[in-house]
Structure formats: C-alpha cells, structure tokens
Chains A and B, each alone.
Chain A
Amino acid sequence: MGFENLLLGFQIALAPYNLFIAVVGITLGTIIGVLPGLGGANGVAILLPLTFSMPPTSAIILLTSLYWGALFGGAITSILFNIPGEPWSVATTFDGYPMARQGQGGQALTAAFTSSFVGALFSVVLITLFAPLLAEIALKFGPPEFFAIQLLTFSSFIGLGGGNPVKSMISILIGFILAAVGLDIVTGALRLTFGFTELMKGFDFIVAVIGLFGIGEILLTMEEGLSFRSVPARMNPRVVWETWKILPRYYRTFLRGSFIGFWMGFKPGGATPASFMSYAFAKRFARHPERFGKGDIEGVIAPETAAHAAGGAALLPMITLGIPGSPTAAVMLGGLIIWGLQPGPMLFKEKPDFVWGLIASMYTGNVIGVLMVLAFVPLFAAILRVPFGILTPLIVCICAVGAYSVHNSMIDIWYMLLFGVVGYVFKKLDYPLAPLVLALVLGDLAENALRQSLIMSQGSLAIFVTRPIAGAITAVAVFFFALPAIGAFRRRRRGRPAAAGAVSDRA
C-alpha cells in the first residue's frame, strides 16, 4: 500500500512546477542558512505569507525545500568561516574549519554536503516506512494520549536539552502563557487582555519566531562584532569526485550518525545533542582519535550526518501527530492550519496527495539540494562578503515585511521588535528559545487536550496514568523531567561538581 502512495507522491513532487518550487526553495534556504540572523525557522516564517495563494502541496514543498537549503547553508559558514549558522553546526566547525585552513575546504564541504544528504535520506526512508504506521496508531489516540505526548515533547527539552533545566521550564511556561492571551475559544472568556483590544487576538508565534530568532540574532551578532573572514576553498568536480571515492570507507560513521540523528531527532531539541553525540562516538571508535579537532574528515561526517538525520526526523511527529519536533517544523505546522488542513493522523486518510507529495518531495529536495550546493558553493559563500552595513537593514526590513504580512497588522511589527529584545536577553542569559516557540504553537492544543481529558475523568489526573498508552508516554515524560535531578544526584555521589552551562540549545 505504501509503495503506490509513494509513487503517487513522486508524480506530484516531480511535476515541473513543483520541481521549480523546490529549486527556488533550496536557493532561498541556502542563502538564509548562510546569512546571520536568518535561520531555517524564521526564513520559513517570513516566506509563509507568500504561500497563502499557492496550492498546499506546492506550498509545503517550498517550505521543506527551504528547510533543507538552510540545513545545507549552515555547513558552508561552519567550514569556511568558522561560524556555525545553527547550533547543530557547532560540531562541524571542530574539524571542518581546520580542514579548510589546510587547503582542504573543498573536501570538507563535499564531505559535509554528502553526509547531510545521507543523513537526511536515511531519515526520509524511515519516515516513508514508519509515518503511515505511526499515523495509524495515532488515529486511536484520545485527548489523554495527546496531552501525554505534549508532556513528552516538553519534558525532552528539560531532560535532554542541556543547559539549565529551570530556565528551560521558564521558557516553556512563558510560551504557554503567551498562547493563553486573548479569547478562550472554549468558554468565550477574554484572558490576560486587561482591557486592551489589541491583545484580544493574542500573540502569533510566527511573529515571535521572526523577532526571537531574526532580530534577536542580529542584536547578538552586532554585539559580538563578528567579522566574516573566509578561508578560500577550491571546489571543482575533481575535488568532489576524489572525496566521494574515500567517503565509502567511513560507512560506519555514516550509519552511526544516521541512527543517532534519527533517534534523537524525532524528539524536540534533538539535532544539537545528536550532532555532538555522533562526533563523540566517531572519536571514540576512530583508529586515530588524536587527529580529531585538527582536520579529520570523519569529524565533519559524523556531526553533519546526525544533524541532518535529526532535521529530517523532526518532521515525522509533525506529519503523523500534528506535533512539531523543532521550531521550523512548528512554523510549517502553522502553515498547514492556514492552508486549511487539519494537522494530525487524519491527514493520511483525507489528504494522501498532500502527505505523499510532501514525503516524495523530501527525496527530490535533498537530491536537488546536494547537487545545487555542490555546484554553487562559491556563490553562496560570497553572500557573507556583503558588508554588515547593508545586511543589517536588509534583514530588519525583510523581517518587518514578514511579520506584517502574517495578519496585515502594524502591531505585529512592534511585537517583532519586542520579541527581538526578549530574544537577545534570553539568549545572553541562556534561556533556550525553541521550547518557548513550541509552547506558543502548541499552547491551545495542549490546553484543550488537558481540558477534554479532565472532563472525561471528572477532574482526576489519574487518567494520564491509567490508560495504557497515555500511561507509558507519561512515564517516559516524568523520567525526562526528573533526569536533571537524577544527574545532579549521581554527580554529587561521585563527588564531582555540577557541570555548569552545558551546550545551550540556540535553535
């Protein structure tokens, strides 16, 4: 059954118009991934209003292509400029930049793009196989199960996100509180508006994404006073071919990275830890671990494969459960709702052409993506040579255009600015932003699931434990919530001081 559906999907994804859309998406995505202050999430957010007039399948193809492009773009800045465009590219700089400085930039880039491609493809194959099954199971879910999954989503930020768990929790709560502002659709009561009519329609998460990640990121970049100095890289078909010839030797690293990436990635906030974990594993099992950090090609393959496998896997819960695994997936989910589609397991039954077109486009998008970035690296790298005096106002204007067009409302541009300052302060103080965005997106869904569950159980919280599926998911969620405390306890018993400020999740 799955095979015919996939074939149908390919018919849609390979239509000339959709291929054209994919190329446009990859190009824009790579540019966005290279530019500071514009990541995958807010690139998708800014372009979202442009898709309102498109057919939904083409629209989602544009946005996912943008996503792949942004993932590829992150590797370019990591390797040539030693600047990780995204948090999951940090581990790529460890060996990628030394390679580039030794004149092997071309090899490093080829390895990075190829690993990204392999990782993403691995995830897409698994999505193809598992998404229909997961959707089938999810069809039987009631409100308690959905609320339990929400708990799991947010608990994984606390248990696996790294950094300060209390600050992650605060981020989540702020997101939920912002989501509650405005009209309560169940009771019709106005919440947290304090008599201001502007607050009635609440805060749109797309505006929040543009402000937090766009404006906030520029403020941070300005403060750090980064100057982009690129290491030249020779990129030609011969370099690519020579690198491809040695890559199969590292099949174990590819495989390990893909598994780690997929396993970490379908839970939120997973891409960054996955890339570090894969790097650490590659180093442990390497024949020459002492070469790591000095320009070992394996040190580029490992994190890139995992990061992209995770990036792909983040789309799995979005299409099957309607619960996004990353801020970018969250923005796409918002798009689905705007295009008039109901995200969740019913999508597989009601809109097979949309779902399978999307899945097929993940294959075509990655193939087009890897070919395009390999061919046009110098062009993309040249973008960073545009001086800051031009880039900054340009990005601010683009962000403002994006924020305004969501609801055609001027107040959203003000919110964008406000969220920008909040994003800057939060990032400096190590409050993670991804949980805030996800909570803002899922706020109403989570609250409704909670309410309906409580109505089913006459107000008893036991419903989340007594139903088998919900109980199992809740148990895992509780374990994740407790993980930081368990870790602290074990460290204390071993007499080690608590690790301060682990990897902060800046996604």
Chain B
Amino acid sequence: MRAADLITAIVLALLGLLVLVDALRLGIGWGTDGPRSGFFPFWLAVILLCCCLAIVGQTLRRTSRVPFVTREALAPVLKMLVPATAFVVVTQVVGLYVASALYMAVYMRWIGRHSWLSVIVLGVGFPVVTFIVFERWFLVPMPKGPLETWLGY
C-alpha cells in the first residue's frame, strides 16, 4: 500500500508540474481584461504539488505491510480489464455492435463457462436490443464498421 501511495502521489505531482509549465506558458498574471488563462490552473497546480508532498510525508511516516493488491486478487482484475480493453480495440475497427457481440460471447464462454445457447442468445441479443433502442427509437448512433456498411446503415 505504501509503494502504491507513493507512486500515485508522484504521478499526480508530475501531472501538477505539467499543469504548472503550461500555466506559465499561458501567463499567470493580469491580462488586459482580467486574469489570464494560466491564472487558475497555476494555483491549482501549486496547491496540488503541496498536497502531493504532504501525502508523501504522511506515507513515509506510516508503516504498512498490506500490499496494494495480492497476486491472487490481481488475476480476476486482469481477467476483467484485458477483455474490456480488447473490446474497445475491436470496437475501433468493426464498430460497437459486432465488438459487443464478440466480447459478450468470449467473456461468457471463457470466464463464465456458460452454455453455448445462452452465449448465442445474449451475444446476439444485446447488440440487437441496443440497435433497436438507440439507433431506431432514440436516434442515437453507435460506432459502426464494415458489417453495418454492408447491411446498408
């Protein structure tokens, strides 16, 4: 937990520095019509850096043997995160409908070990229902790919 706390504080402090640099570029003082664009971000960054320093201080004074995440707990987290990331990558290529069908099917079969019947019903059902509700009823378009183009949408 200590290491994770320290790393997070350092990453946030780096973010603060980034904001600070950008604020200085924009100007932190008084322009012709009031405070310049960098004024507000500058002070945010300054306070953020102070807070990160305080967290580092607090963490160093504390002793903790609890790990951020145990090896056993990491596995299920990755099992969720990796397919989800793959789903987003696939969505980029073939659109959301096909990607969600594939993702649902793969996840249900691989991790959930469900029967092929429920895999097919939900894998096809979800995109179809989404299509009807969003694209048809509420006219909210979803990302589409070659399949939808081929079907004429």
Using a CB–CB cutoff of 8 Å, the interface residues on chain A facing chain B are 49-50, 52-53, 164, 166-167, 169-170, 173-174, 176-177, 180, 184, 186-187, 189, 191-192, 194, 215, 218-219, 222-225, 387-390, 392-394, 396-397, 400-401, 404-405, 408, 410, 413-414, 417, 420-421, 424-425, 428-429, 431, 447, 450-452, 454-455, 459
Contacts and interface: CB of A to CB of B under 8 A. Distances in A.
Interface of B: 1, 4-5, 8, 12, 15, 18-19, 22, 26, 30-31, 33-41, 44-45, 47-48, 51-52, 54-55, 58, 68-69, 73-74, 76-77, 79-81, 83-85, 87-88, 91-92, 96, 100, 103-104, 107-108, 111-114, 118, 122, 126, 130, 133-134, 138-143
Nearest to A219: B77
Q: Give me the 8 closest cross-chain CB pairs, A-B, nearest first.
A: A389-B112, A393-B107, A189-B37, A455-B34, A222-B76, A173-B48, A397-B100, A184-B37
A200 to B, nearest CB: 14
Nearest to B62: A500
Give the dominant DSSP class at B's interface.
helix
8 contacts: A50-B133, A52-B138, A169-B47, A392-B107, A396-B80, A405-B142, A424-B77, A451-B34
B39 to A, nearest CB: 8
B4 A428 contact: yes
Given A191-B22, A223-B73, A390-B118, A417 B88 contact: yes
Given A49-B140, A223-B73, A410 B91 contact: yes
Contact of B111 (A389, A397, A404, A452): A389
A392 B12 contact: no
Contacts of A404: 96, 142-143
A450 B40 CA distance: 9
A169 B12 contact: no
A274 B59 CA distance: 30
For the residues of A in contact with B, the DSSP-based class is: helix
B139 to A, nearest CB: 6
Given A166-B51, A387-B114, A401 B130 contact: yes
A186 B126 CA distance: 44
B92 A187 contact: no
A150 to B, nearest CB: 12
Contact of A405 (B104, B108, B122, B140): B140
A215 B84 contact: yes
A419 to B, nearest CB: 13
Contacts of B73: 223-225
Contacts of A176: 40, 44
Given A192-B19, A429-B68, A431-B8, 20 more contacts: A164-B58, A166-B58, A169-B47, A170-B12, A170-B51, A173-B44, A177-B15, A189-B26, A191-B37, A191-B41, A219-B77, A389-B107, A390-B108, A390-B122, A392-B107, A401-B130, A410-B143, A421-B81, A454-B34, A455-B33
